[in-house]
Amino acid sequence: MAVVFTVLAVLVLVAAVSVLLVVLVLQPRAPYLAVQTARLGNLVYDQQGVLDNAELELDVRAANVNAHAAVAFSELELRLSFHDMVIAILRADPFVVPPRGERPLGYVASSAAVPLDGAGRAAMEGALDRGVVPFRVSGQARTRWKVGGVVAVKYWTRLACQIRFFWPNGTALDFTCNSKSRSRY
């Protein structure tokens, strides 16, 4: 009986050392999404509280910082909103990013006649008076890759940030918008 437990203990120790070596040698890191640039191209708001048109240009990057493994991105969906009212949903077909690579995703999102509630109207009127209009970008993408070519890793990478634009010229104020990865399992 002692021999069985000794062999089992040695196997567990060898497995732990193997995992440690894979982590130290390959240094796997989570891929991420980032909004690099943004611009508010058009904004039409009427006095009845309807956001008739908002056109936003976003340069989103899908980045893979792993040196040895390609990453597959799928189910990518980003939502653009003003004062908790979704004005556009951006999606992408599944794609693969090579090791230490990036994939640019250029979006031009345009809304059509979004009626704002009382608080939304007050927020839009205040933003226009100040000359700074905030929009929120939030969403997620599923990522998959293999560590050491053997162990499959699945992550949902989530993105949530606010981007403020000068109005009427539409340039974005200084912002940082990166995703944080969370394990699904």
H or E segment to which residue 5 belongs:
helix 2-26
Summary count for the chain: helices (H), strands (E): 2, 10
Question: What residue spans define the domains of the chain?
Answer: 30-183
| pLDDT tens column, 66-119 | 888 899 999 999 999 999 999 999 999 999 999 999 999 999 999 888 899 999
| pTM of this structure | 0.80
Nearest CA to 76 out of 55, 58, 56, 60 is that of 60
CATH class of 30-183: mainly beta
pLDDT, residue 81, reads 94
* Residue 51: both structure tokens together: 């956001």
Q: What are 97's strand-pairing partners?
A: 71
* Residue 80: both structure tokens together: 């653009």
| pLDDT tens column, 145-184 | 887 777 788 989 999 999 999 988 999 999 999 886 554 5
Strands 114-115 and 85-92: unpaired
- Is pLDDT of 185 > 50? no
Q: Which amino acid is at 52?
A: D
Distances (CA, A) of 125 to 47, 164, 166, 171: 9, 15, 14, 19
Using pLDDT thresholds of 50, 70 and 90, give the confidence band for residue 18. confident
